Structures are given as C-alpha cells and as structure tokens.
Structure 1
Amino acid sequence: MTFDSDAVRTVTFDSYSTLVDVDAAERALDARVEDPEPVSKLWRSRSLEYTFVANHVDAYQPFYKMNRDALQYALDAHGVDLPPDERDEILAVYHELDVFDDVRDGIERLRDAGYDCYVVSNGNPEMLSSMVEHAGLGDLLADTISADEVRTFKPDAALYRHAAGRTGTPIDEIAHVTAGWFDVLGAKHAGMQGVWADRKGSPWEPFDGRPDLVVETFHDLADELGA
C-alpha cells in the first residue's frame, strides 16, 4: 500500500456510498415494508451483481433500470407486493440522497489546491445530474463521467480508461476515491491509484491486493495531498 501524492493531478470520485449515503434507500422502504433492512441490503447487492454479470453477457442497460430490476427482485424475494407507482417512489430516492458531511469541504480543499475533481460512476447521466444538484457540488466538480458513455460498468478497465481520456489526464496521474472495494481494484488494475473511503471501519477484502491509500474522510485525503 504505497500512495504517491506527488504523482496526482486529478481526483475522481465514485458517487453512491462515496459522495452520498445510499442508506437513505432503506428509509424509503420504511413506510411500505415491515422489515426494510434485509430488503434494502438485497436490493443493493443485487443491483451491483447485475452490473457485474452485464459486463460479461452483453446485457448492458442504464443503471437506473438495473436498480429498478434489483428492487423488484428484492421485493419479490421477501414477498412484498407493491404497485408500480410506489416502487417508482422508492427508486426516486436515488435522485435525492444525502451527501456525507465531509464531502463538500473536502472537495473544496482539493479544488482550491489545484486538483481537478470529477465523478466517475455507474449511474446514468440523469441520476448523476440530480445527485450533484441535490448535493450542491456542481461548483466544485469539473464534470461527471457515466458508465453509460461506454456502456460498461465498473470494474471494467474500459470505464477508467475512458474517464482518463475525458479528464485529459494520464491515467497514472489520477487518484480514484471510492467506498467500493471492487472499484478500488478496478481503478488500480486500469492504472490509477486506488483510494478506499472506509467510512465504517470495515475490514478490507482479502483479495488481489490492497488500496494505495485508506481514508476515513475526505479531509484525510486532502491532508495526504497537501491541500
């Protein structure tokens, strides 16, 4: 685990669970599901699993649709029957997720220190646009980069290489910050430095190497980059 701060020119961020808190999705289930926690966890895990499988069986569809299908499966698996309009109201929470407290100040420090900051996400453009607007980050980010642009999801190297091209930065001069272990590994294997945002003090996955840097908050990242 060696982080080369001097090499970093651009910082990219994942969106869900990194910038914004997806646990709000569980709260959206509260009024409609007797036991929302297992439904929410299955919804999130299936959503990611669908993206992994889609990369290998040529079954791409925008992430919003992946998320919709995963929610339907989670509801079905737990015997919950909701009409389409209520299901859509639950899905809509992804457009209004709460931003973590440290995100804005942390990114502002990086921006003011001269780092270009981008979002690189599985989310489709509409989801990312509403996320950035609701989180109030539009003035700090250079742009958002969606998997929809290359029709492949993380951790496929093609998405990270595309992101490097979009930022105009050599891939080895990018630090990618994410709460997702698979996203860390995807970024590293594509040539970026992988920064794990471990907000919950979780153990690292004992699989295929470690992050270049582990931070609890974006302020820790800014400190590492001298911002």
Structure 2
Amino acid sequence: MSFDPDRVTTITFDSYSTIVDVDAATQALADRVDDPEPVSTLWRYRSLEYTLVANYLDAYQPFYEMNRDALQYALDVFGVDITEDERDEILAVYHELEVFDDVRDGIERLRDGGYDCYVVSNGDPDMLSSMIDHADIDDLLADTISADEIATFKPAAELYRHAAARTGTPIDEMVHVTAIWYDVMGATHAGMQGVWADRKGRPWESVAGRPDLAVESFHELADALGV
C-alpha cells in the first residue's frame, strides 16, 4: 500500500456494496423463497458476471436489465416459480437498499474537508437517482457518473477515464473508494489511487496487486486525508 493523500483532489465512490448494502436483497426474497440466501448470492454473482462478459462481447444493457436477467436465472436454477410482477417487485429492492451507517457523516467530512465527491457506478441513472435519494446524500455529491454514459462497465479503464474527464480532474489526482476488489484494481490500472472499503472483514484478493489503502469506514479515509 502506498496511499498519497497529497495527490488527492477528487474522491469517487462506488455505489452497490460500498454506499448501500446489497445483502439486504435477501430480505426481498424471503417472502417468496423458502431458502433465500443461495438465490440472493447467485443473483449477485451472475449480475456482476454479466457486466464483465458484456464488456468483452459488446453486449451492453443497462444495469437494471442485467440485474433482472441475473435474478431470473437465479430463480430458475433453484426452481422458484413466481410471476414476472413478483420478480420485478423483488428487483425493485435495489431502489431502497439499506445505507451503511458511516456513509452520510463520512462523505460530509470529506466534502467539508474540501474534496469534490462523486459516485461512479455500473448502475444506470434511474437506479443511482433513487439510491442517492434513499441514502440522503444528494447535497454532499458534486454529481453521479454512470456506466450507461459510455455503455461500458467496470473494471474497464474507459469508465474511470470518463469519470476523470467528467469531473475535470487529472486522473492521478483522483481516489476511488469501493468494496469491490476488481473495482479497486480497475481504478488503479486506469491511473487513480484505489481505496478498498472492507465492509465484510474478508481477506484481500491476491490477483493483480493491492489497494493503495484499506479502510473499514469512510471515516478512516477522512482520517488518512487529515480532515
């Protein structure tokens, strides 16, 4: 790890698993699925895998549609027979996911410390709008930047470079904060510093390097930046 706080002028945050807890989706399945945990886990994994494959096959769809297809696949695998309306009611939980406790106060510290804060996410604009409203952080963010703007998902370098262009910040003056290991590595590969928000207390993945900084909360990042 080699975090350099003196280089940072702009901070970007991932959304799902970083600002909001996607594990809460398990609750949305509980009323319709006898054993919701494996369905939820497969849903999440397939959703992420679909975005990675789409980058290579030039098969972009907005993330909400990717997420819908992944949920349907998980339901099919476990033999869950529900209507499309019921499936879409489960899917709609992504508009109201629980917010991690440190998010608002942590981002507020960083904003008040002089840093421009953005969200950079695979989520499409409607998903991000509802997430920001639910998290009550719209007043703290300079803007949100969606993969939908360039039809390319993380961890492709193009999305992080697009974020740099949108913010008007040299990419080496940006730090990206995320709970997703390959999002950390995508950001550092593109030229940002990468901060891993270790939400689960799990070991770091050993592929393709290490984060510049690991934190358990946004407050630890604020401490590292001296604000």
TM-score range, shorter chain: over 0.9
- Once the two structures are superposed, the pairs formed by residues 25-36 of structure 1 within 5 Å of their partners are 25-36=25-36
Q: Aligned partners of 1:69 and 1:199: how far apart in 2?
A: 26
TM-score, normalised on structure 2?
0.99
Please report how far the alpha carbon of residue 137 of structure 1 lies from its aligned counterpart in structure 2 after TM superposition.
0.5
Q: Does 1:156 find its partner at 2:156?
A: yes
The one-letter code sitting in structure 1 at the alignment partner of 2:213 is: L
Match of 1:220 in 2: 220
Match of 1:168 in 2: 168
Match of 2:112 in 1: 112
Q: What is the count of residue pairs matched by the alignment? A: 227
- Once the two structures are superposed, the pairs formed by residues 123-138 of structure 1 within 5 Å of their partners are 123-138=123-138
Q: Give CA deviations for 1:85-138 in whole Å, capped at 9, x if unaligned.
A: 100000000001111000100000000010000000000000000000011000
RMSD of Structure 2 on Structure 1 (CA): 0.4
Match of 1:43 in 2: 43
Q: Does 1:9 find its partner at 2:19?
A: no
Q: Could you say what secondary structure the match of 1:144 adopts?
A: strand
Q: Aligned partners of 1:199 and 1:59: how far apart in 2?
A: 31
Match of 1:205 in 2: 205
Match of 2:184 in 1: 184
Q: Aligned partners of 1:226 and 1:165: how far apart in 2?
A: 26
The one-letter code sitting in structure 2 at the alignment partner of 1:177 is: V
Q: Aligned partners of 1:124 and 1:219: how far apart in 2?
A: 27
Q: Aligned partners of 1:67 and 1:118: how far apart in 2?
A: 23
Q: Aligned partners of 2:211 and 2:161: how far apart in 1?
A: 18
Match of 2:196 in 1: 196
The one-letter code sitting in structure 2 at the alignment partner of 1:8 is: V
**How high is the sequence identity, in percent, across the aligned residues?**
78
Q: Could you say what secondary structure the match of 2:160 adopts?
A: helix
Q: Aligned partners of 1:200 and 1:47: how far apart in 2?
A: 19
Q: Aligned partners of 1:168 and 1:137: how far apart in 2?
A: 21
TM-score, normalised on structure 1?
0.99
Q: Give CA deviations for 1:181-211 in whole Å, capped at 9, x if unaligned.
A: 0100000000000000002111001111000
Please report how far the alpha carbon of residue 24 of structure 1 lies from its aligned counterpart in structure 2 after TM superposition.
1.0
Q: Give CA deviations for 1:53-95 in whole Å, capped at 9, x if unaligned.
A: 0000010000000000000000000010110110000000000
Q: Aligned partners of 1:41 and 1:23: how far apart in 2?
A: 8
Q: Could you say what secondary structure the match of 1:163 adopts?
A: helix
Match of 2:144 in 1: 144
Runs of 4+ in 1 over 2 A off after TM superposition: none
Q: Give CA deviations for 1:159-193 in whole Å, capped at 9, x if unaligned.
A: 00000000110000000000000100000000000
**Structure 2: gaps (5+ residues):** none
